Amino acid sequence: MIDPRLELLRAVDEHGTVTGAAEAMSRSPSGVSRQLRELARELGVALFDHVGRRVQLTEAGRTLVQHAHQLAEQAERALAAVRTTTDEISGQVVVAGHITALGSLIAPSIGRLHSRHSALRVIAEERQPREAIPGLLSAAIDLAVMPVTAEAPAVTDPRCAVLDIGVEPIDLLVSQTHRLVGADEIALIEAAAEEWILGSREHDSRTETLSACHRAGFNPRPAHYAQDWSAVAALVAANLGVALVPRSVPTQWYPGTSRVFLGGHAPPMRRIIACTRAGAEDTPALGVVVDELRDLARAWTSNQDPEMDIDMP
């Protein structure tokens, strides 16, 4: 809808080299160079300077990139407005999410959405948060579902809009022979004396578990380390420790474990968000998908106290 060369320029700004930008855009360096030269010629200004063997945007180039963001947003807004005029929800929405969101939110939503809006095609795509934003901006995907964690830091890119999906409780996973099996809504501090299964170093679930325990007022005693949820469940089932697992992780597939819901003052949980391109928030098709995801997320907390305070990182 808008000049693709602007996106090229943005990539050059981001990477600092034409080659890097070309790679990111799946183009050849010579092609990118050619396009940008033509763009600069049309505008009558130099868009970047050569510093060493690299390249750096001039003030004019940066100004153009900045305006390009606004243009892209307004173009998305135009598309949304056009689609709003047709009362039927139709079109195609590619929804990406990390593996557990895919299983617990996206996959279940597809059938329900299809039965309600037959002209709507929802396509699921597994994608890590890190890969999701670039895919969003390149229009390969339309909606990226992800938890708010350290690995997916606050989405501050002005080209993205963030929609809230809901909060997902985090449960304590214990062996089926554990003393806490059958307990109802214990406080996390009650598991302070346990041995813990933690995520691998610098990994997502590890920092989540640690910060949850710290907020509860103790430092977990680590026994074993595992990254994949099935490995965690196996360790728990073998009575080698307890672990924190988000509600959406399907541990029922791994026998020998039992979930204990956590209550108390500030039970651990994580916020699930969905990112779209700025300006596309109001697309009707996107709206019904987001509503459906929110509806499914609500099931996580519907049988819990809705007044509990949420901790955003």
The site map against a second copy for 187-226 (x = CB under 8 A) is ----------------------------------------
Q: Which helix (H) or strand (E) holds 173?
A: strand 160-175
Nearest to 155 by CA among 271, 285, 75: 271
Residues 100 and 69: beta-carbon distance below 8 Å: no
With binding defined as CB under 7 A, does residue 4 bind DNA?
Answer: yes
- How far apart are the C-alpha atoms of 292 and 294, rounded to whole Å? 5
Residues touching a second copy: how many (CB under 8 A)? 29
With binding defined as CB under 8 A, does residue 176 bind a second copy?
Answer: no
Nearest to 39 by CA among 12, 14, 17, 20: 12
Backbone phi, psi, residue 247, to 5°: -55, -30
With binding defined as CB under 8 A, does residue 64 bind a second copy?
Answer: yes
- How far apart are the C-alpha atoms of 141 and 306, rounded to whole Å? 32
Residue from 18, 57, 161, 165 touching DNA (CB under 7 A): that is 18
The site map against a second copy for 42-61 (x = CB under 8 A) is -xxx------------xxx-
Contacting range for DNA; rule: CB under 7 A; set: 49-57, 61-69, 87-95, 174-182: 49-57
With binding defined as CB under 7 A, does residue 30 bind DNA?
Answer: yes
- How far apart are the C-alpha atoms of 100 and 129, rounded to whole Å? 12
Residues of the shown chain interacting with DNA in the complex, contacts defined by CB under 7 A? 4, 16-20, 22, 26-31, 33-38, 50, 52-55
Residues of the shown chain interacting with a second copy in the complex, contacts defined by CB under 8 A? 1-3, 43-45, 58-60, 63-64, 67-68, 70-71, 74-75, 77-79, 81-86, 90-92
